[in-house]
Amino acid sequence: MSMVPSRVAFGVGASIRAGPRPNGRSSVPQSAPSTLPRPRNRRPVSCQAKKKNKGGKKGKAKKVSALDAVLKKKPTSGEQEEGKATSAGQHTSVDVVMWLLLVVESYTKAVGKKLFAEQFSIQDVAEKIYDAPFVLLSHRYGEEGEAMREHRFNYANRRALELFDCEWADLVGKPSSSSGEDDEAVQSDRDALLMACKKEGFVENYEGWRVSSKGERFLVKGATLWEVKTSSGDASLGQAVVFTEWEDAEGNTRSVAEEGGAVDGDGDEEAGEVVDLAEAERLVQEQADLVRGLKANLTNEDAEVKEAVTVLLERKAALEALQEAS
């Protein structure tokens, strides 16, 4: 099943409105030590490859497409440095890009708003979200039967890492349940929140206490949690959360804008398209031509042919997803 959404729409983080404080101790799925104080009372939460063409026609130029940029992009040796928070091998890998496409598409479908107003191409998705003017994290569901508290973070953008004062390797892979107090009442409340999201599709305007890796406490405000689903919408893969404001331990309200990222727009702009139907059809035809050219002098067992066919199948899957949504 393809993870490339039909029309990846982007609206703005500012569309997440800080609302009334929920009742109880709602918990945002972020990583943090579990030594937080019990949250204050809240009002109710609102739920709602190309290879060289050895056998192709002479004179045919080798093209580089947007999809190739995602499928073939490899980190440099410097970017592969272990533990580096901004390593391209971590936040711009193919798996992360495909996940982010679903995160954005699922947000638009569930909440009815855009996460980004800006238009950009598929190869820019990872960098745009990583440097976005909002805090965004997600966890992915594990194997069937995995306990809710065992779900692990699989993404955090730059603002999230800065807020929690940690690096990618310190956060990604850690159980998201560690973002709440190590208290059964708190964890049960968090479980109920995540279950409400799973049932309703999303939860808006909730807040909860968190703590950075250095023990600095802050209260997340006006956050939105939503289900990340397959492009067809028939299966949930995990959950993501986004917010732009928080309150420090002294009661001062802070925001991403104050920390150096301007939040602009209101989420009502037209959605940008990562890959539209016409572009997807062109990419499939382009790759099919390449495969035919390679097979003129090579066999199906040759590595170049296998790799080209793999890309072709991925492009066809993306095209089918777009056609189904049209």
Tokens (6 digits) for 287 = 């790759």
Q: Note the pLDDT of residue 326.
A: 56
Q: Give residue 276's pLDDT band: very low, low, confident or very high (50, 70, 90).
A: low
How far is it, in rounded angstroms, from Cα 285 to Cα 278?
11
Q: Give residue 316's pLDDT band: very low, low, confident or very high (50, 70, 90).
A: confident
What ranges do the domains of the chain cover?
A: 13-48+84-255, 277-325
Q: Note the pLDDT of residue 271.
A: 35
153 has a pLDDT exceeding 70: yes
Q: Give residue 207's pLDDT band: very low, low, confident or very high (50, 70, 90).
A: confident
Average pLDDT, the chain: 72
Tokens (6 digits) for 35 = 């030594």
Q: What are phi and psi of 108, to 5 degrees?
A: -60, -45
Q: Note the pLDDT of residue 78.
A: 43
DSSP state of 304: H
92 has a pLDDT exceeding 70: yes
User: Mean per-residue pLDDT for 62-66?
Assistant: 41
Q: What is the fold of 13-48+84-255?
A: Beta-Lactamase (3.30.450)
Q: Note the pLDDT of residue 206.
A: 80
Which residues make Cβ contacts (< 8 Å) with residue 139, sequence separation at least 6? 29, 151, 152, 153, 154, 176, 238, 239
Q: Note the pLDDT of residue 116.
A: 85
Q: Note the pLDDT of residue 197.
A: 94
How far is it, in rounded angstroms, from Cα 88 to Cα 81?
10
How far is it, in rounded angstroms, from Cα 226 to Cα 128?
20
- Assess contact for 11 and 242: CB atoms under 8 A: no
280 three-state secondary structure: helix
Q: pLDDT of 106-128, one tens digit each?
A: 999 999 999 987 777 777 889 99
User: Mean per-residue pLDDT for 217-246?
Assistant: 93
Q: Which residue has the higher pLDDT, 147 or 41?
A: 147
70 has a pLDDT exceeding 50: no
Lowest mean pLDDT among 169-178, 220-229, 297-306: 297-306
Tokens (6 digits) for 109 = 């479908």
- Assess contact for 155 and 137: CB atoms under 8 A: yes
DSSP states of 117-173: -S---GGGHHHHHHT-SSEEEEEE--STT--GGG-EEEEE-HHHHHHTT--HHHHTT
Q: pLDDT of 250-275, one tens digit each?
A: 999 999 877 654 333 333 333 334 45
Enter the pTM of the model.
0.57
Name the helix (H) or strand (E) containing 99: helix 94-111
Q: Could you identify the residue written with the tokens 């960098």?
A: 127
User: Mean per-residue pLDDT for 163-174?
Assistant: 91
42 three-state secondary structure: coil
Pairing state between β 202-211 and 245-248: unpaired
Lowest mean pLDDT among 71-80, 148-157, 218-227, 269-278: 71-80
287 has a pLDDT exceeding 80: yes
Which residues make Cβ contacts (< 8 Å) with residue 46, sequence separation at least 6? 19, 22, 203, 204, 205, 206
Q: Which residue has the higher pLDDT, 126 or 21?
A: 126
- Assess contact for 229 and 102: CB atoms under 8 A: yes
CA 213 to chain centre: 22
Angular region, 233: left φ>0, alpha ψ -120 to 50, beta rest: left
Q: Give residue 193's pLDDT band: very low, low, confident or very high (50, 70, 90).
A: confident
- Assess contact for 41 and 187: CB atoms under 8 A: no
